[in-house]
Each structure stands twice: as structure tokens, then as C-alpha cells.
Amino acid sequence: MRIAVLSDVHGNRIALDAVAAHLRKAAPDVVVNLGDLVSGPFDPAGCADLLMSLGYETIAGNHERQLLEGGAGFSDAFARPRLTNAHLDWIAKLPTTLTLAGGEVFACHGSPAGGDLEYLLENVASGRAALDTEEAILPRLAGIGDARVVLCGHTHIPRVAYVGGILMVNPGSVGMPAYRDDTPVPHVMESGAPHARYALIEKLPSGWAVELRAVPFDFEVAARQAEAADRHAVAYSLRTGRMPAT
């Protein structure tokens, strides 16, 4: 079985188009989208239209929750008036977790135990993302049942880790390669390249294989969309994969 995993599109239709084209060639058995779908300074409605038409297995991330709750963040405030009632109805019906492959694979946005805002694999105490300790990660896996693979997003950092017999895969972000946040402490997340990211996992006789993929797209057009929305730091990240110095 082959499962394609994507996350954190953030309304970047140009990046999503590039990944969708890759997936048509890869022809996985299942595609799962881990949330944060349309909130971003790009094309929220066009992105929602495409995602709805693609029919990928999809869960809600923190930005879907914030959209429905009237979240005050810029990305949500930009997206919400551009979405139709049909888009919002679709978002409202999305689950927050999924199980795949007969329960062997558990999909969430943040972490299984901590919800859509918790980083499963990263420690950001230094101000930058680092792989957390096994002791810190293990409690965050509570609630996965018999799953042996956990798919997570939220951090925008592609990563594969193995703790306590559980394989964890973060595909990175399709549409936003870097960001800055203040919770739980001020920190930056940087993938280091502007490419759209996704992952392929495949069940082999010896276990699950993982490929982390980086797909080029028209970074400059997407960056100009962000600039038109006065999101110059986002535009910088789309050209470099990094955040500008503050």
C-alpha cells in the first residue's frame, strides 16, 4: 500500500497544483491531507475549489478551527471573506483525525494527545526547531490505538522519526516553507528551500518506507501574491525557504 501525505497548503494554489500533478504520476493508493488548507495570503477560494474536487482524505488543522471560530489571525482574516458558504460547510464537516490502512496509520494535524497546536516532534525552546527527546515525544502519542505509523503536520518541517516502535512522518508544508510564531516561545520554522513538500509512505514486507519529496513551482508568482496582501515576510520565505531577519 502506498499513501501520499501532504499538509499545510495555506491557500497556495500554485504550490498545490504542482503537488497534485506529481501525485497523478505517483498514483498512490490513498492521498491524505493533514490540514491548514486555505488560510494564507494567496488564493483561498481557488485552493478550496481544487481540494474539494480532488477528493483527498482530509482532516482539519488549527486554521480550519480558527476559521470557523472567527479566528483573529491575519491568514484566517484574509481567507474567510473570500470563501463561500459551500467552502465553509465542507471545512466544518472535516474530522480532526483519521485512521488508514486498517488502523495501522494514524493521521493528525498537530499531535495525537495534544491537539492541533502541539508540535509532535519538535522542541522550539532555542527559538528554532530541533528534534525533541524520546521522553518528550512519547506522551504526545497517547490515543493512537494500535497504529504503528503516525502522520503529522503543523510545523512545516519535513521529518521522519522513530520512537517507541512508532514511525512518525511529517511531510512538511505544500504552500508555506517557513513561518514565525510566538507560542509556546518566540521561534522560527524554516524548511530551508521554497519547494512544495509532500511524502510518500509504502508498506513493504520489512516495514514502512518513507520518501520526503520537494516539488518546484513558480515561487515568484506566489511571492508576488503574498506581497499584494502586504505579507512581505511570507513572500521572502517563498523565495528562500527562510524567514527574514528581524
Give the CA radius of gyration of the chain: 17
Grid cell for residue 105? 496509520
Other Cβ atoms within 10 Å of 186 Cβ, number: 11
Name the more confident of 70 and 6: 6
Check whether 16 has a pLDDT greater than 90. Answer: yes
Q: pLDDT by residue (tens digit) across 115-150?
A: 999 999 999 999 999 999 999 999 999 999 999 999
CA-angle at 20, arms to 109 and 9, nearest 5°: 35
Are 14 and 41 a contacting pair, CB within 8 Å?
Answer: no
Note if the pTM is more than 0.85. Answer: yes
Q: What is the mean pLDDT of residues 203-229?
A: 98
Q: List pLDDT tens digits, range 73-102.
A: 899 999 999 999 999 999 999 999 999 999
Full DSSP string of 112-123: TTTBTTS-SSEE
- Which of 121, 123, 113 lies closest to 184 in space, CA to CA? 123
Q: Beta strand 166-170 with 178-181: parallel, antiparallel or unpaired?
A: unpaired
99 forms bridges with which residues in the sheet? 106
| Greatest Cα-to-Cα distance within the chain, rounded to the nearest angstrom | 50
pLDDT bin (cut points 50, 70, 90) of residue 72 is low
> Which DSSP state fits 128?
B
User: 57 near 105, Cβ under 8 Å?
Assistant: no
- Show me where the domains of the chain are located: 2-238
Q: State the cell numbers at 77.
A: 482574516
pLDDT of the residue at 246: 76
| Spatial separation of the C-alpha atoms in residues 154 and 17, rounded to whole Å | 20
Give CATH superfamily name and number for 2-238. Metallo-dependent phosphatases (3.60.21.10)
